[in-house]
Amino acid sequence: MNKKNIIAGNWKMNKTENETEEYIKNLIPLIEGSLSSVYLAVPFTSLKAAINLTENTNIIIGAQNMHDETEGAFTGEISAIMLKAIEAEFVILGHSERRHIFNEDNSFINRKVRRALKTGLQPIFCIGETQKEREESKTEVVLEKQFLEGLKDISKKDVLDIVIAYEPVWAIGTGKTATAEIAESVHSYIRKLIHKHFDAKAADTINILYGGSVKPSNVEELLKQENIDGVLVGGASLDYKIFAEIVNKS
Ligand code: PEP
C-alpha cells in the first residue's frame, strides 16, 4: 500500500496557549521535509493559536473530542460546527480515556463520528481492547463490536474520510507497547473488517494507526508492518524534539 503514513500527536490535557506556541515554533523547522502527514490534537484552548501558527506548514491541527449535537444545553461541551469554524481539520473520537473515564459508549461515539463527517471534520476513530479482554481471548470480538457499532450507518463513500486508530488499552500510557507482530495481526484483522463491512476500496484507502506507548525506539519497527499506516502518539508527543524524532523516522 502506498498511502502516506499519518503521525499524530495527542497532547491530552497538557499545554497552555503559550506552551503550544513555543512547541509549534520549535517543531516546524525540525519536520519540514517529512514524508508523512503530521497531525497534532491539542486542547480546545490551544486550537486557535496552533491553527494560526501552522498555516502553510505540513502540520494539521485537530481536537481531542467533541459533542454530537450542534448546539444547546450541554454545559462544558464543544460542537463540530465550533471546531470547523476555527478551521480544525480532524477530531479524535472514541479514545479509550473517553470510553473508560467518561463512560462514552459505542452509540454516542457513533453519533459523534457521523456528526464529524457531516461537518467536514476527519474523525480519528479509536478502538482497542483492555488487558482483561486480551487475556480472555476476546480481542477480536471486542474490536468487531466497537467497529460495527461505532461505524453504524456510515456509507461506503463517507467511510473513506475516516482514520482508524487501534489503541490497545493496556498499552496506553503504560510504557508497554504491543509488539509489531501483535499490532500487525490486529491491524490485518481490522483491515478485513473494513473489507467485509464496507468494501475493497475502503480497506485500501483507510489509514489504520497504531497507538500505545509509541516512541522513537519502536516507531520504525511498527511502521514496517504492512497494515500499520501511521501512529497515534500520546506521552512522547509532549516533547517537540521526541515527536520530531518519531516523525523523522517515519
Ligand atoms: C494516546 O493517548 O492515544 C496514546 C497512545 O498514549 P501513549 O502514547 O502515551 O501510550
Q: Compute, in angstroms, the gap from residue 232 CA to the centroid of ligand 1.
A: 7
3-state secondary structure of 69: coil
Taking only the tens place, the pLDDT of each residue in 156-205 is 999 999 999 999 998 887 877 789 999 999 999 999 999 999 999 999 99
Query: The cell 473494513 sits on which residue?
Result: 194
Rounded Cα distance between 44 and 183, Å, is 30
pLDDT at 175: 77
Rounded Cα distance between 246 and 31, Å, is 10
pLDDT at 2: 66
Q: Compute, in angstroms, the gap from residue 72 CA to the centroid of ligand 1.
A: 31
HSE-CB at 58 with a 13 A cutoff on CA atoms is 19
Catalytic residue among 167, 184, 187, 245: 167
What is the average pLDDT value for the chain, to the nearest integer?
Answer: 96
Taking only the tens place, the pLDDT of each residue in 109-164 is 999 999 999 999 999 999 999 999 999 999 999 999 999 999 999 999 999 999 99
Query: CA-CA distances (angstroms) from residue 187 to 109, 132, 142?
Result: 21, 20, 14
Specify the residue with its C-alpha closest to ligand 1, atom 1.
234
Asked about 100 being catalytic, the answer comes back as no
